Structure 1
Amino acid sequence: MSKIAVVFHSGYGHTLRLAQSVAAGADARLVAIDADGNLPDGGWDILDEADAIIFGSPTYMGTVSWQFKKFADASSKAWFSQAWKDKVFAGFTNSATMNGDKLSTLHYLFTLAMQHSGIWVGTGLMPSNSKAAQRNDVNYVGSFSGAMAQSPSDASPDEMPAGDLETARLFGKRVAEVTARFKG
């Protein structure tokens, strides 16, 4: 069985809920970046041993949170030795508005994965873009690059759309399936 890690920062709990959904779909371990931008004890070891690493960050001001950026900068030690070369990578994000420049965040996560000489996996999900589409449909936000979610700024994490959480779960499942193909 593949070892998959979800490394993420969550400022208000919404990205945590997404990370939990992604991890459930991928049967992955969660590695939370704390409020100071640090990994928990053993976090780097989990990432080094993983076959796949899924990045997650809220979108703040058009990119990842500063806490995630601190982690990314610290990953230069793994980059220098190419310790994560040929791992499978993927990413997800959440913002308060429907667009919210989330694609900019996914591009950042993609670039980080490419710097580590990784293999990127997108959602593999068709968008819900017909007139009959409803907000709780899978991939309603319509992302192919990675999972995206939208949570109004005054909504609690418990109020996140079920479709966004299911999108995250299916995304995690896809990452696990692709990782198994590469590992096999």
Structure 2
Amino acid sequence: MTKLAVIYYSATGHGTQMARRIAATGEAAGAEVRLRHIAETRDPESFAKNPAWTANYEATKDLPAATGDDIVWADAVIFGSPTRFGNMASQFRTFIDSLGGLWAKGRLADKVYAGFTSSQTAHGGQESTLLTLYVTLMHFGGIIVAPGYTDGVKFADGNPYGVSHITGPNNQNDLDDATLDALDHLARRVVGVAGRLR
């Protein structure tokens, strides 16, 4: 059975929804799945006036947090981070930067990797966030399995690099059908390729 780790950071909850969808589809595709959030590094008082951020923090703070062991365990990893100024969120980057010891031992290499992201606007840096993530994964010696245009659903969501969601200026946009379909396709593709490589 292919082992899939879904490791993500989410502030206002869209990433949490995306990660849960990927995990459910991965399980349906026959994978053993670990769903892990990256622990919040900001003081909750600093976002207390943001109801979506506070709600997501409260809903996930007691769930298992990601560690490097989750990557070592996995055959495939799908990472998720919101876009921050065209790059990964600092909380996500801090987690990635903590993996140096495992990287030095070659424990992160030869795994299938892919990614997803979200931003408030259509041109908020989604593609650059995923490309920057993939540069890091190349340093890991990872096998990047982007969705490309390997299914008709990708012509609807339009992102060959991974999956991205537009939250809207007030973080009000729920995941639409195009995003859900793209998440499903990404999960199935990653599980399928990882299974063939095993």
TM-score w.r.t. length of structure 2: 0.80
Aligned residues: 174
| Secondary structure, aligned partner of 1:140 | helix
Q: Which is richer in helix?
A: 2
Match of 1:141 among 152, 157, 172: 157
Task: List alignment gaps of at least 5 residues for structure 1.
Answer: 129-136
Say what the alpha-carbon RMSD is for the aligned residues: 2.3
Letter in 2 for 1:8: Y
Letter in 1 for 2:13: G
Task: List alignment gaps of at least 5 residues for structure 2.
Answer: 28-32, 43-60
Q: What is the CA distance between 1:166 and its match in structure 2? A: 2.0
Letter in 2 for 1:180: G
* Equivalent in the alignment of 2:166: 150
Q: What is the CA distance between 1:31 and its match in structure 2? A: 1.0
Task: Measure, in 2, the Cα distance between the counterparts of 1:45 and 1:87.
Answer: 13
Tell me if the contact between 1:150 and 1:164 (Cα under 8 Å) persists in the aligned partners.
no
Tell me if the contact between 2:148 and 2:159 (Cα under 8 Å) persists in the aligned partners.
no
Match of 1:82 among 102, 106, 121: 106
Moved more, 60-69 or 165-174: 165-174
Q: What is the CA distance between 1:127 and its match in structure 2? A: 8.0
Q: What is the CA distance between 1:43 and its match in structure 2? A: 3.1
Match of 1:162 among 149, 153, 177: 177
Identity of aligned residues (%): 33
Q: What is the CA distance between 1:108 and its match in structure 2? A: 1.4
* Equivalent in the alignment of 2:140: 116
Residue 53, structure 1, aligned to residue 77, structure 2 = yes
Task: Measure, in 2, the Cα distance between the counterparts of 1:25 and 1:88.
Answer: 17
Q: What is the CA distance between 1:96 and its match in structure 2? A: 1.1
TM-score w.r.t. length of structure 1: 0.85
